[in-house]
Amino acid sequence: MSKIEKVLPDFSKYNAAECERVAFEAIDTYRATITALEEAPASIEDFLIPFDEAEFEFDCAIGPVYTLISAVGGPDFDALEEKLDEPLTKLQTWMMTNEALYAKFVELSKQNLDEESAYMVSEQIKEFRLGGIDLDANGRKALEEADLKISQLATRYGQIVSKMLATSVSVAGREYTLNNFTNQLALAQLDDPTARAQLLAKSMERGFGGEFDTRGIVTEMARQRNARAKLLGFNNHAEVVLETEMAPSTNAVYQLLSDVSKAAVEASKGNEEELTRRAQADGLERFTASDWLYYQEKQKADVLGLSSQALKPYLEMWNVLENGVFFAANKIYGVSAKRRTDLSGWDPSMRVYEIEDEAGKSLGIFLIDPFTRAGKSGGAWMDSLVQGYLATDYESIIINCANFEPVGDGPKFLVWDEVETLFHEFGHALHGFLSKTRYASTAGTAVPRDFVELPSQLNEMWAYNPTVIENFARHFETGEVMPEQMRAQLRDSKTFGQAHATVEFCASALLDQAWYSSEISEDEDVAQFEAEALEKAGVASDLIPPRYRSTYFPHAFTVGYDAGYYSYMWAEALVAECENWFRTVAAIDGDGGLNRQAGRQITNAILSRGSSRDPRESFWELIGHEASAKAIVSRRGL
């Protein structure tokens, strides 16, 4: 039995009770190990490496627990998540206010360390300061209370949103399971304008009253996070977040979102005129937000000759993954994916693959959980159960989760957005598999949030590469390649509808910033706050609502992208530059950069580095200049 098989959990035994036992044992072991290190000499060998190894072992133990909380969910896992809030918050507070540990890192920072160790130490010192090490006893107590409240609010919000997504709504005699975002995919195909209006209304009213009312959580979360920031000497939570990000200031974030949104709003006006004409030709008296995607799909079919329904037979899910996503990764990075039918995940619909480098050495195990089900968190994401690094012989175990509609035993066809999702999430996985850092805490995707989306968004470009499309876009019955005209139309469609998509994204990103940079009252009216924030930011629109409203916006109100939803846009500026590099500098004989030489360069500069150095250095090594909002505007065809 290989080491990876020993480490891969037997998920059939991982019920909530077993996860609880594992989690509390991991907490006790970690605390004991760290306590012992308080007496260790302040050296790399005696302190820094053991500290890093302790964090690695803790993450390996707790990782499967939180993966199952998100991917399986349900009452038992919900209860466990709530039970873990307090002990994990107390553990974090104890760590970040541990004077003995902090003193070790300060002492290390004064030594002549190698560059990677010095950067890791400096970043850890920053974490201590953001964790309250400089506060007095009263301040630390207040911080711990705030952190516990924030953790509990995030847990409650996430659980409510998961229940929202598992609850169908009835429109025109048909049941719909809503997507986690505002504009529902079904709107593009729904012929009845009244049904479209009802479906969008039901989507947008989620969380505003009733069983799943999250308004109180939204306002209290913003208040708690902003109050916590003031304890640490900052004006608001948005400022705290940027202490560990690439963006230098909240002004820089607003400037980026403002520049891009202005271009998108202007471009959307032309789209609005054309779509309104189409709606009026169909006899609609008034063109509304619920009609936008429907007529945009019709316009797409007329202008590009392309429809989602015509594409579907060529986009069978497993074929897209194996002959598209994996094929591109092999051409660029030399990695291959071998199906492991002897290994399994937590759901029968999952598949497991072993990822190998071009020499046949195992890089780890990849699991994919593609389908939506009751209890599962919404959206798509990547998790690392184990993140490999140079000092260990453990290989990575990485998971991609999505929420595609299940189809039973028949073939699962994707819409094009879902094709991009597969490429996107595997971009995160590649960031983990190709990592080569000295320390576990700096490996893989342990990078700033506004940098972590670079590898994932960049990987989407290969979905449009002619060689890659030809390899995966094949009819599910005949195996015939998608006609060249259709493939060309697909490539031409990349910027189609981007004005609408950009406005709705920027609206949500600006809402996120507003909540975490404003004074929020106890009785803040969420709908009014949203309206005023969007108006102030110049993105208020009756026709293009935000991608997420505050009441169903897990990025902003759980843990992960709070005051950080802008990160996708910040990373896209980097992506635009990297795409241009692939197509020009790295291209060989017109291949668009689909070659091993390009893969080696970007791996050495970015993907292998994790946060072993400032990510700005990694980007500069490859590109040689700063990115800008203009690159995004150009990339999106605005």
Q: Please tell me the predicted confidence (pLDDT) of residue 4.
A: 54
Please give the average per-residue pLDDT across 620-627, as a whole number: 94
Q: Cβ(182)–Cβ(395) under 8 Å?
A: no
Q: Cβ(205)–Cβ(512) under 8 Å?
A: no
Q: What is the pLDDT of residues 208-217, one digit of tens each?
A: 999 999 999 9
Per-residue pLDDT band for 396 (boundaries 50, 70, 90) equals very high
Q: Cβ(466)–Cβ(492) under 8 Å?
A: no
DSSP 488-519: HHHHHGGGTTHHHHHHHHHHHHHHHHHHTTS-
Q: Please tell me the predicted confidence (pLDDT) of residue 13.
A: 86
Q: What is the pLDDT of residues 139-155, one digit of tens each?
A: 999 999 999 999 999 99
Residues of 596-615 as b/e, b for ≥16 C-beta within 10 angstroms?
Answer: eebbebbbebbbbbbbbbbb
Instruction: Please tell me the distance from the alpha carbon of residue 196 to that of residue 185, in angstroms, as a whole number.
Output: 11
Q: Please tell me the predicted confidence (pLDDT) of residue 3.
A: 54
Q: What is the pLDDT of residues 15-32, one digit of tens each?
A: 999 999 999 999 999 999
Domain boundaries, the chain: 3-134, 312-495
Helices 49-71 & 16-37 angle (0-180, nearest 10) = 160
Instruction: Please tell me the distance from the alpha carbon of residue 616 to that of residue 459, in angstroms, as a whole number.
Output: 19
CA atoms within 13 A on the CB side of 189: 8
Please give the average per-residue pLDDT across 508-529, as a whole number: 98
Q: What is the pLDDT of residues 319-356, one digit of tens each?
A: 999 999 999 999 999 999 999 999 999 999 999 999 99
Residue 543, pLDDT above cutoff 50: yes
Instruction: Please tell me the distance from the alpha carbon of residue 1 to that of residue 124, in angstroms, as a whole number.
Output: 37
Beta strands 362-371 and 336-339: pairing type? unpaired
Please give the average per-residue pLDDT across 628-638, as a whole number: 93
Averaged pLDDT of the chain: 95
Tokens 């175990």 belong to which residue? 397
Q: What is the signed CA dihedral for 404, 406, 407, 413, rounded to 10 degrees?
A: 10
Contacts from 121-126 at CB under 8 Å and sequence distance 24+? 121/48, 123/244, 123/442, 123/611, 124/441, 126/243, 126/244
SS3 (DSSP) at 539: coil
CATH 1.20.1050.40 fits 3-134, yes or no: yes
Residues facing residue 169 across a β-bridge: 176
Residue 409, pLDDT above cutoff 50: yes
Residues facing residue 354 across a β-bridge: 338, 365
Please give the average per-residue pLDDT across 594-623, as a whole number: 97
Q: Which of 299, 205, 254, 286 is nearest to 499 (CA)?
A: 299
Q: Please tell me the predicted confidence (pLDDT) of residue 471.
A: 97
Range with the poorest average pLDDT among 6-10, 153-157, 270-274, 369-373? 6-10
Residue 73, pLDDT above cutoff 60: yes
SS3 (DSSP) at 591: coil
Helices 16-37 & 99-109 angle (0-180, nearest 10) = 60
DSSP 126-167: HHHHHTTTTS-HHHHHHHHHHHHHHHHHHHHHHHHHHHHHHS
DSSP label at residue 111: S
Q: Cβ(207)–Cβ(552) under 8 Å?
A: yes
Kindly state the percentage of the chain with pLDDT values over 90. 91
Instruction: Please tell me the distance from the alpha carbon of residue 406 to that of residue 403, in angstroms, as a whole number.
Output: 9
312-495 has which fold? Neurolysin; domain 3 (1.10.1370)
Q: Please tell me the predicted confidence (pLDDT) of residue 1.
A: 36
Alpha helices, DSSP H, located in 443-553: 449-459, 466-472, 484-492, 498-515, 526-537
Per-residue pLDDT band for 130 (boundaries 50, 70, 90) equals very high
Q: Please tell me the predicted confidence (pLDDT) of residue 512.
A: 99
Q: Which of 564, 614, 520 is nearest to 123 (CA)?
A: 614
Instruction: Please tell me the distance from the alpha carbon of residue 81 to that of residue 60, in angstroms, as a whole number.
Output: 17
Beta strands 396-404 and 362-371: pairing type? parallel
- 339 — phi, psi (to 5°)? -60, 135
Please give the average per-residue pLDDT across 306-317, as a whole number: 90
Q: What is the pLDDT of residues 451-507, one digit of tens each?
A: 999 999 999 999 999 999 999 999 999 999 999 999 999 988 899 999 999 999 999
CB atoms within 10 A of CB 512: 29
Residues facing residue 8 across a β-bridge: none
Q: What is the pLDDT of residues 182-209, one digit of tens each?
A: 999 999 999 999 999 999 999 999 999 9
Q: Please tell me the predicted confidence (pLDDT) of residue 6.
A: 53
Instruction: Please tell me the distance from the alpha carbon of residue 501 to that of residue 182, in angstroms, as a whole number.
Output: 11
Instruction: Please tell me the distance from the alpha carbon of residue 394 to that of residue 50, in angstroms, as a whole number.
Output: 16
Residue 7, pLDDT above cutoff 80: no
Largest interatomic CA distance in the chain: 79
- 360 — phi, psi (to 5°)? 90, 5
Please give the average per-residue pLDDT across 100-125, as a whole number: 97
Please give the average per-residue pLDDT across 385-402, as a whole number: 91
